[in-house]
Amino acid sequence: MLQKLESNRKRILLHLLMLTFVYFAYQLSFRQTIAAIRLHRELNDQQQSDAFSPGAISQLRKKAAFYAMVSKGYVVKKGDEDNRIWQAVSGMAVANNVLIGFNVAPLAAQNDTTELVAGINIKHYVLKGKYPNLVSFLDTLSRSKGNGRLSAVTLSIESVDRSQRINDYLQLKIALSSKY
């Protein structure tokens, strides 16, 4: 059929097919891309003009209130903080059927002394127990107020022998950070 057409008509038919292809390509792909680019530019322009709107200020106030609430969690009640924190943590451990130990030996010197300058105190505790009891203890400790915040948690298995791992207790090392 194409062989019977003249070369002039073949060119016209080829141009019509190319024009149809470009039209379908625009409708199916390029139109959405161009619309997305326009929307992106409009949103960027709108965001730059609304940078100091009252909504942005209220959002900053909410953010500042959140950070203030988080920083208050590090403050420990005044008094004999060491004994009070030890009593609170050991009481939670006993309530959750977990064995607790307190490492009184000073830890190796820390490289970062900003914690000491800022008045941040870190207490380390070693707990032993079954996994559900340890998780329950961590949940209770994280919900308690006035004891500081968990700054480090390490869970490990003491025994190397696989046959003893089933009945053996897990060891949990925690560090509580508090600010006096």
Question: Which of 128, 133, 141 has the alpha carbon at shortest distance from 88?
Answer: 141
Query: Do both 162 and 92 map to the same domain?
Result: yes
pLDDT for residue 26 is more than 90: no
Query: Do both 103 and 173 map to the same domain?
Result: yes
Mean per-residue pLDDT of the chain: 76
Query: Do both 97 and 41 map to the same domain?
Result: no
Query: Do both 54 and 141 map to the same domain?
Result: no
Confidence class for position 18, pLDDT limits 50, 70, 90: very high
> For the segment 97-130, what is each residue's pLDDT rounded down to a tens digit?
888 876 644 455 455 566 555 667 788 888 888 8
DSSP class per residue in the chain: -TTTS-HHHHHHHHHHHHHHHHHHHIIIIIHHHHHHHHHHHHHHHHHHHTTTSHHHHHHHHHHHHHHHHHHHTTB--SSSHHHHHHHHHHHHHHHTT-EEEE--SPPPPPS--HHHHTTEEEEEEEEEE-HHHHHHHHHHHHH-SSS-EEEEEEEEE----TTTTTTSPEEEEEEEEEE-
Query: Do both 97 and 124 map to the same domain?
Result: yes
Please name the amino acid found at residue 150. L
Across residues 36-49, what is the average pLDDT? 82
Tokens of 85: 């924190």
Q: What is the CATH number of the domain that holds 142?
A: 3.30.70.60
Instruction: Give the residue numbers spanning the domain of 115.
Output: 81-179
Confidence class for position 79, pLDDT limits 50, 70, 90: low
Query: Do both 15 and 57 map to the same domain?
Result: yes
pLDDT for residue 51 is more than 80: no
Query: Do both 55 and 124 map to the same domain?
Result: no
Tokens 């207790």 correspond to what residue?
Answer: 169
Query: Do both 39 and 16 map to the same domain?
Result: yes
Q: Please tell me the predicted confidence (pLDDT) of residue 151.
A: 83
Does any domain span residue 20? yes
pTM of the predicted structure, to 2 decimals = 0.50
Does any domain span residue 46? yes
